[in-house]
Amino acid sequence: MHIEANLQLIIHVIDAFTQHVFAGNQAAVIITDDWLDDDKMQSIAAENNLSETAFCRKLADDNYLIRWFSPITEIDFCGHATLASAFVVFSQHESLGEITFSAEAVGELKVKKLSDGAIQMRFPNRKPEIINEIPEALLTGVSIAPREILRNEQAYVLVYDNEADVLNISTKNNELAKLAPYDVVVTAPSNSYDFVSRYFWPANGGDEDPVTGSIHAGLAPYWSERLAKNELLAYQASKRGGELHCKVIGEFVYISGYAVKYLTGEITV
């Protein structure tokens, strides 16, 4: 009988979009020279049970392919796990100032280490557009009706006039799950920030995501136009919470944040 040898992998768990552990959004990061098979990557992500596990295939010290897996499925685009991956790479190669991650769905993601310790990611501009047909599950899935509904490649964007609506909204996630492959983000202007948001993704990962970097590639262009400013400070108002510095320049959105290490260890699979 053939017995497959166990594989040992180094795993890092990073809190992204925060300067303190137990806040922001957790991501696991695993760097390999070759891809694991898809089923094994999905099984590891399910076992980790974090919002995202990033697998990075190293091409050079400053060049990586990247894939992201929630506990449920592979994700096309994830910001906080890209931030976490960059944090790990910069920690291992302190002389580096810039890294390139490449993903099939979004192309090259340029990541830069800033002088204050923050990490800046260059994402494609994914500004949402008004939609004509609104699914019934979207309207029944949220407790407060929005003033405006848009959508981009990733999610339905529900816009509210008041920050309190975003903070107090409740959802029926069995209804929102019917919107697959799209998730749902709710957003409003804020007194303390330029805008706030919350993100719900029962179809692809879980009930509420703590901090979602990728959706800010859509939220930042929307609020940039509405507030007539290119640089914005955003807050994702989940239980853990996280700050995102956003800059909109043409076809790109630059999103910056901090990260801290929670764990480095070894898994056997």
**What residues are annotated to the active site?**
52
- CA-to-CA distance for 255 and 3, rounded, in angstroms? 46
Contact (Cβ atoms closer than 8 angstroms) between residue 54 and residue 78: yes
Give 109-165 as a 3 state SS string: EEEEECCCCCEEEEEECCCCEECCCCCHHHHHCECCCCCEEEECCCEEEEECCCHHH
With beta carbons less than 8 A apart as the criterion, state whether 214 and 77 touch.
Answer: yes
Six-digit token pair at 87?
């944090």
**Counting runs of H as helices and runs of E as strands, what totals does the chain give?**
6, 18
Is 65 within 8 Å of 102 (Cβ atoms)? yes
134-169 exposure pattern, b = at least 16 Cβ within 10 A, e = fewer: ebebbeebbeeebeebbbbbbbbbbbbeebebbeeb
The CA distance from 20 to 119, in Å, is: 15
Single-letter amino acid, residue 79: G
Calpha distance 206→214 (Å, rounded): 16
